[in-house]
Amino acid sequence: MVNLVLFGAPGAGKGTQAERLQEKYNLVHISTGDVFRYNIKNKTALGKEAKTYIDEGKLVPDQVTINMLRSEVEKNKDAKGFIFDGFPRTTAQAESLDELLTSKNAKVDAMLALEADDEILVKRLLDRGKSSGRKDDANEEIIRKRLEVYYDQTDIVKSYYQKENKFHSIDGVGSIEEITERLSKVIDQLK
């Protein structure tokens, strides 16, 4: 079993690469955003709870998020491993993920951080915004604020995995295939 945390700022290419790695290594891709949207849309107990926080403009508490992830992991008991995309975002969430995986006799094997210059990220998001319909991808000011929040609040999770020698910085600039190859070199060394 191989469990990966796919990490990077908005626009780094996490979604694109997660799809490719999921297919190549037969892993289950768990996108926190997708899990939230599914639970809210289907009005699950966890979705209803999360929605009360979101509707008030608050962050969903770590425990609600980890409970959603636990449910996703348990739905995939026979998985060869997982790609966690969008989680963890804090040290507390990283610790919760470790506890969850330990309870399943597993662990995070690596954090793969896709890195790119801010100007490249802004351009990618603006380009994506032209076709995605996402308002947060169409406004440069909002994009720069998202990057600022990422660096202030989320980027610190790197140090958690650096201390465990599980952090791998991956150059996120180049063709989709080149970036997949860089990620694959790290993953292949984990086996």
Q: Which two tokens stand for residue 87?
A: 């989680």
| Measured distance CA(191)–CA(186) in Å, rounded | 10
Tell me which of 123, 128, 144, 158 is the catalytic residue: 128
Q: Which two tokens stand for residue 25?
A: 């290594």
Gyration radius (Cα) of the chain, Å = 16
Please confirm, yes or no, whether 89 is among the known catalytic residues: yes
Q: What are phi and psi of 172, to 5 degrees?
A: -95, 20
Three-state helix/strand/coil letters over 25-59: HCCEEEEHHHHHHHHHHCCCHHHHHHHHHHHCCCC
Element (H, E) at 163: helix 157-163
Q: Which two tokens stand for residue 72?
A: 């996703």
Residues carrying an active site annotation? 14, 89, 128, 134, 146
